[in-house]
Amino acid sequence: MSTLLRKKKAAIFDLDGTLLDSMDVWLEVDRVFLARRGIVLPDDYAAAISPMGFPAAAEYTKNRFALPEDEEAIMAEWHALAVDAYANRVGLKYGVRDYLTSLRRRGIPFAAATASQAVFYLPALRRLGIADWFSSITEISEVSRGKGNPDIYLRAAEKLGYEVCDCAVFEDILPGVRGALAGGFFTVGVYDAHCVNPELMRAVCDRYIYDFTELLCDDIF
């Protein structure tokens, strides 16, 4: 491993699909929501909305499917479908607990940068016993642009108190990786079964892993 890789001092993690094994929850929310309206879930829908926060995703959904509901009603229905799943069923992806434990043991600070909302992820993180492990959690609502841009990662790095060159961003979606790269971050692509283009992810990011156990013996910090 190069000296450059070993000099990373802090980590910024996406939550859904990166640390939390939650993408099935959102696919089910999407499927049920659209099925109630007689619409079959399009293959490209999840990838289209995954970099967006709730308001932007609701606006996109309303416009794409010409729905009569306003964005607030759409978000309320999504909310009701997802809250129970996060509170009771969502778990960690393979190797996550061991890897985060390793970072804590070595004094490597880490933060989260998510397009989700606290009402979903916090009950899951608390139930899993890791909510207080993060130095901070930055939501997409805190910045003006989505994860195809560097804004959320820059904000997370600012909260951590580290320069961009000292931080590694972990993401499971291509827009997130590209946004982090645009900000000058070192990027780690994380495999998720729901990723629409893992080959392109692997080609674009600085490092690619299938699960976090790979970093236990070959880390970037």
Residues 168 and 188 sit within 8 Å (Cβ to Cβ) = yes
pLDDT tens readout for residues 184-204: 999 999 999 887 778 899 999
pTM, two decimals, is: 0.83
HEC profile of the chain: CCHHHHCCCEEEECCECCCEECHHHHHHHHHHHHHCCCCCCCCCHHHHHCCCCHHHHHHHHHHHHCCCCCHHHHHHHHHHHHHHHHHHCCEECCCHHHHHHHHHHCCCCEEEEECCCHHHHHHHHHHCCCHHHCCCEEEHHHCCCCCCCCHHHHHHHHHHCCCHHHEEEEECCHHHHHHHHHCCCEEEEECCCCCCCHHHHHHHCCEEECCHHHHCCCCCC
* CA pair distance 219, 115, nearest whole angstrom: 26
What is the predicted pLDDT for the residue at 194? 80
pLDDT tens readout for residues 131-181: 999 999 999 999 999 999 999 999 999 999 999 999 999 999 999 999 999
Whether residue 6 has pLDDT greater than 60: no
What is the predicted pLDDT for the residue at 49? 92
What is the predicted pLDDT for the residue at 5? 53
